[in-house]
């Protein structure tokens, strides 16, 4: 379809419906996400997902699928690790199980899976596939993928170019933690401690402290988090993303807890709905969410936010002085006494957690014991001085509200009452035009008070209680007004709802993969370890498509030195103001050397033409 922006810019969209896609650590978090307004959730099985700590049983996924499909919410399962030959048979059997329980798609990285005997379940190319070029995405589309998850590093202009030249669904990260490396192209964790990110076991070495030296041995940085990026938030770019061709908007965080997921889901639900409504566009699921809190992404875990590379401008991306949640800015310290301080705001509460930067730019934290008469009494006053900025990284009242929240999701339905020659007809209809019918053959007495009887009928038919439905319109057109007991009206309503639940369940159709896996030429002719080929079927997949496999996956390499362990659009020189575009004078000589906490050294290579940085083991 075509959308038209205020600037008369026409951009092709790949769907008539748009999806807010939310992570789930487990079944309960997923249900919370659905109630908060998710159009789709993605969740891991007990094995083979890129977050091994976020595994779930088939039984739990069955329960989730049944709950999600009531609201036409899709469930995608992550199987996005690279696989051993000995695991492929198990994965094949697992995919068949997932297909039979009606999951809506599987997210994969390993192309060896496509050489297996697969059911026609939709296949989604994980961002771990390193989908960074138009040619690669065209290949995935020709191969039979339904959707591609774009890299976090992508720009709006690149999305537009992909959208103009493909028909595949485009999914984009809009919120959450940022990997400093291109996904699927980071081997630092595996190199340090044999915990492979491509096997779901990343140890997050990018969140540790590093020092940086130049070629002459001069320290540029000492013991800083120079590889730890801020968190992503594209809340200010949602409309541009829609106009660029994105149809699925993804929140990162399959290891995050219930309150984080509920809060971020509700926040982006509100933001997306405003834009979709302005353009007359539809979301991909059904039901209205009722939440009893005001969502605020700054109140959940965040390392402060960046829009990363979406506009092509990369400024101050790293959290050089900290690697943990900073929360929301609260105020500036006005006065400090022996055991308390005063702010220019008065919103802290007993039990809150706060943090601040001391004179050495180190992030410190403490909790609030009490607040009284404008004074804040922290557990520790150390480091708090006049002029210090205070951040709240734990809002006790907000977290308690989320913990006890009663989010509900209701499917809008309409009810009609009509008169028959032999009784009365009741029809309950949803927005898909699914209908349940109840015919009353009873000869009711005439109502002594017709207006009151009609009002009672409306009121009782509208009492949907804890069901999935919400009556948004009651249409009663009858000439002979009967007197119907409240208990009888209630039974009619319950019967209609039971029927409609079964009808909706029966009528939900999972999309199937339209075409079998096809063979087309792969755009890269020689493949090294960065193709992440870990099994014989993956090797066969690429060779069938004209590529020569020179190296197998990094995890299988005996000699790992002199290989790039990380490829990143983030640049240390840019972060530190040392890029030649920022300054003509740079006293530090290349090559730079990165030194970790264990004194291991890594060469930093800057590919300025492509604005890419590489970390290389030496």
Give, in degrees to the nearest 5, the angle at Cα 312 between 363 and 596.
40
Q: What is the CA radius of gyration of the chain?
A: 28
The mean of the pLDDT values for the chain is 94
Q: What fold is seen in the domain 313-403?
A: Thrombin, subunit H (2.40.10)
- Please report the pLDDT score of residue 9 as a whole number: 40
- Per-position b or e across 340-371, b if 16+ CB within 10 A of its CB: bbbbeeeebeebbbbbbbeeeeebbbbebeeb
pLDDT band, residue 194 (cuts 50/70/90): confident
- Please report the pLDDT score of residue 559 as a whole number: 78
Q: Averaged over 449-467, what is the pLDDT?
A: 96
Q: Averaged over 391-419, what is the pLDDT?
A: 97
- Please report the pLDDT score of residue 350 as a whole number: 96
Question: Minimal CA–CA distance to 490: which of 514, 509, 464?
Answer: 464
- Please report the pLDDT score of residue 249 as a whole number: 98
Q: What is the pLDDT of residues 470-483, one digit of tens each?
A: 999 999 999 999 99
Q: What is the pLDDT of residues 498-548, one digit of tens each?
A: 999 999 999 999 999 988 999 999 999 999 999 999 999 999 999 999 999
Q: What percent of the chain has pLDDT over 70?
A: 97
- Exposure of 53 by Cβ count < 10 A (0-12 exposed, 13-18 middle, 19+ buried)? exposed
- Please report the pLDDT score of residue 10 as a whole number: 46
- Please report the pLDDT score of residue 421 as a whole number: 87
pLDDT at 8 over 50: no
Q: Into which CATH architecture does domain 2-178+232-292 fall?
A: Alpha-Beta Barrel (3.20)
Q: Averaged over 421-447, what is the pLDDT?
A: 93
Sole residue written with tokens 């979301």: 283
Q: Averaged over 273-295, what is the pLDDT?
A: 97
- Please report the pLDDT score of residue 92 as a whole number: 97
pLDDT at 11 over 70: no
pLDDT at 15 over 70: no
- Please report the pLDDT score of residue 225 as a whole number: 97
pTM: 0.95
Residues written for the chain? 618
Rounded CA gap, 96 and 228, in Å? 39
- Please report the pLDDT score of residue 50 as a whole number: 65
Rounded CA gap, 33 and 17, in Å? 19
Q: Would you state the structure tokens that stand for residue 514, as one six-digit string? A: 């339209």
- Please report the pLDDT score of residue 14 as a whole number: 57
Rounded CA gap, 373 and 379, in Å? 17
* Helix 258-279 with 27-36: angle, nearest 10 deg: 30
Q: Averaged over 353-361, what is the pLDDT?
A: 95
Query: 323: helix, coil or strand?
Result: coil
Pair 137, 122: CB distance under 8 Å: no
Pair 350, 375: CB distance under 8 Å: no
Peptide bond into 591 cis (omega under 30): yes
Pair 420, 480: CB distance under 8 Å: no
C-alpha distance from residue 607 to each of 411, 462, 480 (Å): 53, 65, 83
Q: Averaged over 379-400, what is the pLDDT?
A: 97
Rounded CA gap, 484 and 349, in Å? 54
Rounded CA gap, 327 and 297, in Å? 9
**51 alpha carbon, distance to own chain's centre:** 14
- Please report the pLDDT score of residue 221 as a whole number: 97
Q: Would you state the structure tokens that stand for residue 337, as one six-digit string? A: 């006494």
Tell me which H or E stretch contains 410: strand 408-420
Rounded CA gap, 121 and 67, in Å? 20
pLDDT band, residue 13 (cuts 50/70/90): low
Query: 248: helix, coil or strand?
Result: strand
Peptide bond into 63 cis (omega under 30): no
pLDDT band, residue 5 (cuts 50/70/90): very low
Residue spans per domain, the chain: 2-178+232-292, 313-403, 408-507
pLDDT at 6 over 50: no
Backbone torsion region of residue 238, taken as left when φ is above 0, otherwise alpha when ψ lies between -120 and 50, otherwise beta: alpha
Query: 3: helix, coil or strand?
Result: strand
């Amino acid at each position: 379809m075509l959308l038209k922006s205020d600037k008369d810019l026409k951009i092709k969209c790949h769907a008539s419906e748009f999806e807010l896609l939310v992570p789930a650590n487990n079944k309960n978090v997923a249900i919370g996400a659905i109630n908060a307004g998710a159009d789709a959730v993605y969740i891991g099985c007990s094995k083979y997902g890129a977050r091994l700590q976020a595994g779930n049983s088939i039984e739990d996924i069955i329960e989730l699928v049944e709950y999600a499909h009531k609201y036409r919410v899709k469930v995608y399962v992550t199987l996005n690790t690279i696989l051993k030959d000995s695991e492929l048979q198990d994965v094949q059997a697992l995919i068949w199980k997932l297909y039979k329980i009606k999951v809506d798609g599987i997210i994969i990285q390993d192309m060896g899976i496509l050489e297996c005997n697969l059911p026609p379940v939709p296949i989604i190319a994980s961002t771990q596939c390193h989908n960074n070029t138009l040619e690669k995405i065209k290949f995935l589309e020709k191969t039979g993928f339904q959707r591609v998850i774009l890299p976090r590093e992508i720009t709006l202009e690149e999305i537009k170019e992909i959208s103009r030249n493909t028909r595949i669904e485009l999914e984009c990260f809009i919120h959450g933690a940022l990997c400093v490396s291109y996904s699927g192209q980071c081997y630092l964790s595996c190199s340090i401690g044999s915990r492979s990110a491509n096997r779901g076991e990343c140890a997050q070495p990018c969140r540790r402290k590093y020092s940086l030296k130049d070629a002459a041995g001069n320290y540029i940085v000492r013991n800083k988090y120079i590889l730890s990026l801020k968190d992503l938030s594209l809340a200010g770019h949602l409309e541009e993303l829609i106009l660029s061709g994105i149809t699925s908007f993804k929140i990162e965080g399959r290891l995050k807890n219930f309150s984080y997921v509920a809060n971020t889901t509700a926040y982006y639900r509100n933001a997306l709905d405003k834009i979709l409504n302005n353009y007359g566009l539809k979301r991909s699921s059904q039901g209205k969410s009722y939440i009893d809190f005001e969502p605020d992404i700054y109140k959940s875990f965040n390392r402060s936010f960046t829009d990363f590379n979406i506009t092509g401008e990369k400024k101050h991306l790293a959290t050089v002085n900290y690697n943990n949640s900073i929360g929301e800015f609260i105020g500036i310290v006005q006065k400090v006494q022996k055991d308390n301080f005063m702010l220019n705001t008065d919103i802290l509460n007993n039990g809150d957690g706060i943090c601040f930067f001391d004179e050495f730019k180190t992030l410190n934290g403490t909790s609030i014991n009490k607040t009284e008469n404008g004074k804040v009494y922290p557990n520790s006053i150390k480091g708090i001085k006049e002029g210090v900025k205070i951040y709240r990284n734990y809002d006790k009242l907000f977290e308690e509200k989320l913990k006890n929240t009663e989010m509900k999701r209701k499917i809008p339905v309409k009810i009609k009452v009509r008169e028959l020659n032999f009784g009365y007809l009741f029809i309950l209809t949803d927005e898909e035009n699914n209908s349940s019918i109840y015919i009353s053959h009873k000869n009711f007495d005439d109502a002594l008070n017709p207006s009151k009887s009609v009002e009672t009928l409306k009121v009782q038919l509208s009492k949907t209680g804890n069901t999935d439905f919400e009556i948004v319109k009651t249409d009663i057109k009858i000439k002979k007004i009967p007197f119907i007991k409240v208990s009888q009206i209630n039974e009619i309503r319950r019967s209609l709802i039971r029927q409609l639940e079964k009808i909706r369940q029966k009528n939900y159709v999972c999309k199937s993969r339209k075409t079998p896996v096809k063979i087309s030429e792969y755009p890269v002719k020689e493949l090294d370890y960065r193709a992440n080929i870990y099994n014989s079927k993956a090797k066969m997949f690429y060779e069938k498509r004209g590529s020569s496999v020179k190296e197998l996956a990094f995890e299988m390499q005996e000699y790992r030195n002199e290989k790039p362990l990380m490829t990143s659009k983030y640049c240390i020189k840019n972060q530190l103001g040392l890029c030649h575009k920022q300054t003509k004078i740079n006293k530090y000589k290349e090559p730079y050397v990165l030194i970790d906490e264990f004194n291991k050294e890594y060469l930093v290579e800057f590919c300025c033409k492509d604005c890419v940085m590489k970390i290389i083991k030496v």
